[in-house]
Amino acid sequence: MLDSFFLMRLSRVLAVLLILEVCLAAQPPHTPRKPATSAIDSTHPNIILITLDTTRADRMGFLGSTRGLTPNLDAMARQGVAFTRAYSHVPITTASHTTILTGTYPQFNRVNDFGVPLSARLPYLPDLLHAQGYHTGAFVGSLILDPLEGTAPGFDRGFDIYDADFNLRRHGMDRYKTVERRAGEVVNHALAWLSQLPNGPFFLWVHLYDAHDPYDPPEPFKTRFASQPYDGEIAYADSAMGKLITEIRKHGLYEETLIAVMADHGESLGAHGENTHGIFLYDETLHVPLLFKLPGSQAAGKHVDARVRLVDVAPTILQEAGVPVPPEMQGESLSAMMKMKTKVAAKMPVRARDAGTASKSDTKPDPRDAGATEEDRAAYAETDYPHRGFGWSTLRALRTGKYLYIRAPERELYNQASDPEAAHNLASSAKAVADTLAGQLDAFRSKTSQTLVELANPDTEQMQKLQALGYVASDSKTDHDDKPSGADPKTKIQISNLLHDAMFDVEDARYQEAVPLLKRVLAEEPNMPVANMQYGMAEARLKNYADAIPSLQKASQLLPDNGMGRYELGLALFETGDWKAAAPEFEAAVAKAPKWADAQFSLASVYARIDRVPEAMEHLDISLELNPNHYRANLLRGRLLSLLGKPSEALPNLERAASVEPESREAHLFLADAYRQLGRIDEEKIERAKAERSKPPTQ
């Protein structure tokens, strides 16, 4: 489930509204630039990195699927090198992309959660290429990878352009113009950028978010895949990639361009009880497609069956680009493996009798295994999401030889050669193997965790945005000793599924549907902060404040430093007219997130009602500095100035409010009153006429 982390939609309480600007519509596709007349420098090829969010390996035709979803990727694979056993290191979007782009493990880069800043001390692929003269552009499909307005701070380092510009979504707004962008629009933006580039090598990153839930492909894929909408999203994304490749090929850029395609992680789709991703470390969410199309179509049509990792991607791209690989990168280039003429070591033979013992080759002591290019590379994986989001245990995994070992409160061991679906846990019957792999996992994690990067938490605004995408966020940090603590996620997965569904119901204003789901979660986990908060929010939106306030108070007591929880409690108290009790809650939210325009407005609104008008004006000014088009802040500031006998000072705010919400009856009435005070009778009449034609204030 993850890539779904838990963001809550902000709804207005009294005068509290989120005024969101609609993302820019996709530019019509432009023709990519023509190549320079001189030959392309083979040591610095153009590079295109395509990351497919939440995409399973078993949906790829070039990896054996017969579903017919990926004809464009399949065609590229015939001209490139496909890795049949590539693994992600973490089933979370921002964390996995950090590994892809830095060539470092999550325990080293410390981006193990949404909203954790990408440290400037880390090697970063776009930054390294930019320093070598590359033009660099990023075009992403979701708020989750927005470095300014989303939960990926620092990701824009080294990019000439980072095309994101997402916003939170309120009820009635189009998902694909706020928190997400469809693949076709992402590709259009990328092509527009390519069309105006000067000569010189470019690095283009295209991120397609479509396969992430909720699964809602556009037509004709929606109808064609009505019974399998996840497959429809993958087919749609493939069609968008086909457009990108066609345009690049049309203008002579395809042949000498290095193209790398991969998923950040997969999707469980019910396997092991998990509906989406983020909780477990099985193959459904970590086995990912990985494909390189090399310049000149070197090694065309090759399939590599050895196990490889996403941490290897950045070193590979740098080596192919002729750029030195920084020593801080922990992955290993795949270049030699792609170009070697001998057959790469295939999957381990299926021998069930070997499950109880591990040979030296089965349990390699160093997962980096720097020597061999023909053998499997051991793959480490982890997820902190169960702990940080729910208070359950973290999970760690190691794939080496034929085994998958998972460190959990009830540890797990699977022989992947004979049990690829991880259905038969051998940890108790093959204790010696499990002990050996446990020691290797701990030693590897300790060895690769040495870093100067400080561990950080997402702030309040980032948690809000995460919840808008269905993810759970909290202020809790992973235990420093990294030992399993809390409930085993295997015993709690249905709670995660219920909460995930309920959060999307809250996001889409289906509060009646959300309430029974959240009651079921709270019956099992009465002290889960996010469940209490979501339940309180849903009941508050239904105006059931007697039920809402106790849950919101409990959430705030459990996490007193959680600004989002304090804000939601303030909203509920505000609606009941208990303004004095609401004030300290909004104060706490502002202290936690001073750049949150809505929290600044809410505090100003409550101050205005408890005769603290000068302080209200101060916070309105801050809110408008952060968001000049904040409707409610403009409206309240203008109204207060009118009531203070300063109608001329009120006009700019009231006029702005009326322009932002031209159908607001309230805005036109307040503006008419200011004109009346100034003796501008004709303009007063015009505004009163507009008010008569307008609808009541937005709720």
Both structure tokens of 512: 């009646």
User: Which residues, at least 6 apart from 435, have a Cβ–Cβ distance to it below 8 Å?
Assistant: none
Return the CATH number at 599.
1.25.40.10
Q: What pLDDT, on a 0 to 100 scale, did the predictor assign at position 102?
A: 98
Q: What pLDDT, on a 0 to 100 scale, did the predictor assign at position 32?
A: 42
Does 499 lie in the same domain as 631?
yes
The number of domains in the chain is: 2
Q: Are 30 and 192 in contact (CB under 8 A)?
A: yes
The phi, psi pair for 303, rounded to 5°, reads: -115, 130
Quote the CA–CA distance of 152 and 144 in Å, as a whole number. 7
Lowest mean pLDDT among 337-351, 424-438, 682-696: 337-351
User: Which residues, at least 6 apart from 52, have a Cβ–Cβ distance to it below 8 Å?
Assistant: 208, 211, 234, 237, 261, 262, 263, 264, 289
Over residues 649-671, the mean pLDDT reads 96
Per-residue pLDDT band at 151 (split at 50, 70, 90): confident
Q: What secondary structure, in 3-state letters, does 415-442 show?
A: ECCCCCCCCCCCCCCCHHHHHHHHHHHH
678: left (phi over 0), alpha (psi -120 to 50) or beta: alpha
Over residues 398-412, the mean pLDDT reads 97
Over residues 99-113, the mean pLDDT reads 94
Examine residue 40 and state whether it is found in any structural domain, yes or no.
no
Examine residue 194 and state whether it is found in any structural domain, yes or no.
yes
Residue whose structure tokens are 């569904």: 501
Over residues 514-543, the mean pLDDT reads 95
Examine residue 19 and state whether it is found in any structural domain, yes or no.
no
Quote the CA–CA distance of 336 and 367 in Å, as a whole number. 18
Examine residue 16 and state whether it is found in any structural domain, yes or no.
no
Where is the domain boundary, 326, 348, 370?
Answer: 348
Longest CA pairwise span in the chain (Å): 94
DSSP string, 56-80: -GGG-GGGT--S---HHHHHHHTTS
Q: Are 229 and 222 in contact (CB under 8 A)?
A: yes
Where is the domain boundary, 321, 348, 375?
Answer: 348
Q: What pLDDT, on a 0 to 100 scale, did the predictor assign at position 261?
A: 98
Q: What pLDDT, on a 0 to 100 scale, did the predictor assign at position 369?
A: 37
Quote the CA–CA distance of 499 and 44 in Å, as a whole number. 48
Examine residue 240 and state whether it is found in any structural domain, yes or no.
yes
- Helices (runs of H) and strands (runs of E) counted in the chain: 25, 12
CA nearest neighbour of 259 among 84, 86, 85, 82? 82
- Residues above pLDDT 90, as percent of the chain: 75
Give the domain range for residue 77: 47-348
Examine residue 75 and state whether it is found in any structural domain, yes or no.
yes
Return the CATH number at 340.
3.40.720.10
pLDDT at 62 over 70: yes
pLDDT at 163 over 80: yes
For 348-394, what is each residue's pLDDT tens digit? 332 222 333 344 344 443 443 333 345 899 999 999 999 988 989 99
For 263-292, what is each residue's pLDDT tens digit? 999 999 999 999 999 999 999 999 999 999
Over residues 218-238, the mean pLDDT reads 98
For 288-336, what is each residue's pLDDT tens digit? 999 999 999 899 999 999 999 999 999 999 999 999 999 999 999 999 9
For 417-426, what is each residue's pLDDT tens digit? 999 999 999 9
CA nearest neighbour of 219 among 240, 236, 207? 236
Does 469 lie in the same domain as 344?
no
User: Which residues, at least 6 apart from 35, have a Cβ–Cβ distance to it below 8 Å?
Assistant: 251, 252, 253
Q: What pLDDT, on a 0 to 100 scale, did the predictor assign at position 550?
A: 97
For 433-484, what is each residue's pLDDT tens digit? 999 999 999 999 999 997 655 544 555 555 454 444 444 444 444 444 577 7
Q: What pLDDT, on a 0 to 100 scale, did the predictor assign at position 140?
A: 97
Residue whose structure tokens are 């202020």: 475
Q: What pLDDT, on a 0 to 100 scale, did the predictor assign at position 695?
A: 66
Q: Are 136 and 110 in contact (CB under 8 A)?
A: no
Examine residue 486 and state whether it is found in any structural domain, yes or no.
no
CA nearest neighbour of 92 among 279, 314, 310, 312? 279
Q: What pLDDT, on a 0 to 100 scale, did the predictor assign at position 3?
A: 36
Q: What pLDDT, on a 0 to 100 scale, did the predictor assign at position 375?
A: 85
Where is the domain boundary, 319, 348, 377?
Answer: 348
Per-residue pLDDT band at 12 (split at 50, 70, 90): very low
For 188-219, what is each residue's pLDDT tens digit? 999 999 999 998 999 999 999 999 999 999 99
Examine residue 649 and state whether it is found in any structural domain, yes or no.
yes
Distances (CA, A) of 465 to 39, 189, 355: 46, 23, 45
Over residues 631-650, the mean pLDDT reads 97
Residue whose structure tokens are 């193959």: 283
